[in-house]
Structure 1
Amino acid sequence: MKLKRLDVKQAAEYLGVCTDTIYTMVKQKEIPHFRLRKRIMFSEEALNDWIRQQEADHMEAM
């Protein structure tokens, strides 16, 4: 199984937000990411896990 890596633009498209939102979330350490030299990268698997956790947290808060 090949792991898919996303750059900022791809992550923004994947999540349905603008790139500025991604940069803000990275700066505030709200979203899982890693750096490859100066490039900000995301693992699709880590984003999917993060989305599931966000959904679970939201359901608990209701």
Structure 2
Amino acid sequence: MQRMTVKEAAPYIGASEYKLREMVRMKQIPAYKVGNRIFFRKDTIDEWIAQQERENFQQFTASK
């Protein structure tokens, strides 16, 4: 299991650190905390990205 910090995960998903922290607060992205520190599992983030792609594609094709 590879874990990533906010600093590492933000460029990985193409977001700012601020936006990523906001997404965690809004429970829009899977993460876990150890104390006040936020971490992400790389494989979980990869799954989340794939799910976002599927949902966006379905919305795109449904609107045609």
Task: Please give the TM-score of this superposition, normalised by the length of structure 1.
Answer: 0.92
User: For the residues of structure 1 that align with 2:13 and 2:57, how far apart are their CA atoms?
Assistant: 19
Show the 5 A alignment for 1:17-32: 17-32=15-30
- The letter for the 2-side match of 1:44 is K
In percent, how many aligned pairs have the same letter? Answer: 33
User: For the residues of structure 1 that align with 2:27 and 2:42, how far apart are their CA atoms?
Assistant: 17
- The aligned residue for residue 57 of structure 1 is 55
Regions of 4+ moved over 3 Å = none
User: For the residues of structure 1 that align with 2:45 and 2:56, how far apart are their CA atoms?
Assistant: 16
Name the larger-Rg structure: 2
Confirm or deny that 1:42 pairs with 2:40.
Answer: yes
Q: Which runs of 5+ in 2 are unaligned?
A: none
Task: Please give the TM-score of this superposition, normalised by the length of structure 2.
Answer: 0.89
Count the aligned residue pairs. Answer: 60
Q: Which runs of 5+ in 1 are unaligned?
A: none
